[in-house]
Amino acid sequence: MASKFKILACDGGGIRGLLTTVILERLEQKLGSPLNQHFDMFAGTSTGSIIACAIAKGMSAKDLRKFYEDRGKDIFPDLKSLSFLWNSLLDRIKTGDLSLPLFPGDGLDRVLQDKDIFGDILFGGLPKPTLVVSYDAYNRTAVVFKSNQPEFSQIPIWEVCRSSSAAPTAFSGHILSDPTYIASLRQNPDHSIIKNPLRIQIPPESNGVPLIDGGVVANNPSLCAIAECLNLKRSSEPVSLENILVASFGTGQMEDRISADSVKTWGVLDWLNIKKGIPLLEVYADGSADLIDYISAQLLKDQYNRYQPLVPKNKHISTFQADPTNLVSLVEVANDFLNQGGDGQLDALVSAIHS
């Protein structure tokens, strides 16, 4: 029987990616060596793209957890601080636009370019195949970055992750103008396997394409990775559904429910309310992740392993806040998951990886 082709897939979810890193740290402890030594492919969407790419390049889960704890505040400044409110007001006055994104994107840009995370490493420089999901808002089509394909290989990793992490309402979209990528679009606008009737074009006012968060199409990237690895070969050995093993990590399922009365009466201000966690984004992300979870499980049966903690209502966790209280709550949720059966699930995964 052919050896297993092992995929590590990570969902989107903002600062809730910290929860994922805590669980991955435990998995790494059980395996006894860095995670990139135990998987053949990595896949991520939004905050999951940061996790997947960092692990693929050899970063330990422990260091990645510390990255989220230490640098989260640079990505998600305190919405309640006077300095943030004042600067946000000034930006809106200067631009004459009251509906700017919630957070300035330069914080996320700087963090991703830090030498301790990605620096100037190119996407094609990752030692193993890595896949990241984004969305081209101009051409209305999903973009699946693949580190082993020429049109994506010369893009810096930080730009790939920035493109995948540009959550609507929270961050500005990212204009990707990498010459190799743009040239590939100009030379062959129909090259994508995604059969979109809208012909691919470059915006006339820009030499790049505007990309936003991949969570709008595939917050759980598992199915994209499964489809991609079926086209890969290890030496002369083909990959089939029978020998694919997927470890899929979510960023927490919220226990908060949207009531029947709310569904009947909520309008745009309710669905996009930051105090409620921007429910519209949560619904889209959860819905796409659950659908991909269902299809992946149907295809792979027991070879598809999903790790998704439940976030209790009393935790009041935010997707877009990195204050100490929120970070502590995320770690608590991850540890509760591990203590209430998750640890055993990871033991089973370790056995499957080694078998």
Residues annotated as catalytic are: 46, 213
Partnered with residue 233 across adjacent β-strands are: 238
How far is Cα 175 from Cα 213, in angstroms, rounded to an integer?
Answer: 12
How far is Cα 108 from Cα 121, in angstroms, rounded to an integer?
Answer: 17
3-state secondary structure 293-330: HHHHHHHHHHHEEEECCEECHHHCCCCCCCCHHHHHHH
The alpha-carbon radius of gyration of the chain (Å, integer) is 20
How far is Cα 40 from Cα 202, in angstroms, rounded to an integer?
Answer: 34
Contacts of 17 (CB under 8 A, 6+ apart): 10, 47, 48, 50, 51, 68, 251
